[in-house]
Amino acid sequence: MRKFYLSLKERHLTFNKLFIIFLIGSIFGNYYEMFLGFIANLFKTGTIVIRTSQGLIYGPFSPIYGIGAVIMTTIFAEKNYKWLKLILLASLIGGLYEFIGALIQENLFGIISWDYSSHPLNFDGKTSIPVMLVWGVATLVYIRYIFPTISKLVNVIPPLIGAYIIDALVIFIVLDALITSCALIRQNLRHHNKPAYTFIGEICDKIYDDDKLKKVFPTVRYKKR
């Protein structure tokens, strides 16, 4: 497999470039999961059901994919590993990342977003060898074929216009993540019969109750107490 060599400027990883990669990865991840869910339900029940797989309350973003894309970009974009080494390293990193992500979700938010218990060679249902290999192959395809195009397109964005757009999107995503985190943490506390001690908790109980969060995150399961 041939290597794709980029100029130093094209390889250079700036905050803006990584943030755009995060957004693209987050949006792709949401619709990718929606497609998989659609196909699985169609084969299982014969009915057409489309359910969102977003990870934030506002917007079609699945941060687990966006952060994963940033991690893989940071580690591999400026290297020229041979394809087999890249797949193996990316598989290990992807599996570890997914395992840690599942632990954080379960213990901080009390939710389970994925479960690979039915997969062969799985690790406590949080990742599995087949899923890890998907991370590896996907990273190879991304680094060799997709990242070069994204990098070149980002480099031609006018700096001033790009700065305003990026700043606005960063603020939106940070607020979205904070709201989502507060809502999920408060939900976890409610499930443990903990009352709201602050006005923030009261707002979460009123605006982001269990019914609201179930509609936003229909594929998420809650960890058994």
The string of pLDDT tens digits covering residues 114-129 is 999 998 999 999 999 9
Beta bridge partners of 127: 123
Q: How far apart are the first and last CA of the chain?
A: 49
Contacts of 60 (CB under 8 A, 6+ apart): 26, 27, 30, 31, 52, 54
Give the span between the Cα atoms of 22 and 97, in whole angstroms. 15
DSSP state for residue 175 in the 8-state scheme? H
DSSP state for residue 7 in the 8-state scheme? -
The string of pLDDT tens digits covering residues 68-103 is 999 999 999 988 899 999 999 999 999 999 999 999
Give the span between the Cα atoms of 75 and 58, in whole angstroms. 29
CB atoms within 10 A of CB 122: 16
Cα–Cα distances (Å) from 183 to 2, 110, 148, 176, in that order, read 47, 12, 37, 11
Mean of pLDDT values over 37-45: 86
Q: What is the pLDDT of residue 1?
A: 37
Of the two residues 6 and 152, the one the predictor is more confident about is: 152
Helix (H) or strand (E) holding 219: none
**Residue 142 DSSP SS3:** helix
Q: What is the pLDDT of residue 45?
A: 84
Map out the domains of the chain as residue ranges: 8-157+217-222
The string of pLDDT tens digits covering residues 43-52 is 888 888 888 8
Model-level pTM? 0.89
Q: What is the pLDDT of residue 14?
A: 87
Of the two residues 2 and 32, the one the predictor is more confident about is: 32
Q: CA nearest 123: which of 90, 91, 159?
A: 91
Nearest-5° Cα angle at 93, 89 to 94: 115
Q: Is the pLDDT of residue 198 over 70?
A: yes
Half-sphere exposure of 190 (CA within 13 A, CB side): 18
Work out the widest C-alpha separation in the chain, in whole angstroms: 59
The string of pLDDT tens digits covering residues 132-172 is 999 999 999 999 999 999 988 888 888 888 889 999 999 99
Which amino acid belongs to residue 60?
P
pLDDT tier at 13, thresholds 50, 70, 90: confident
Helix (H) or strand (E) holding 112: strand 111-112
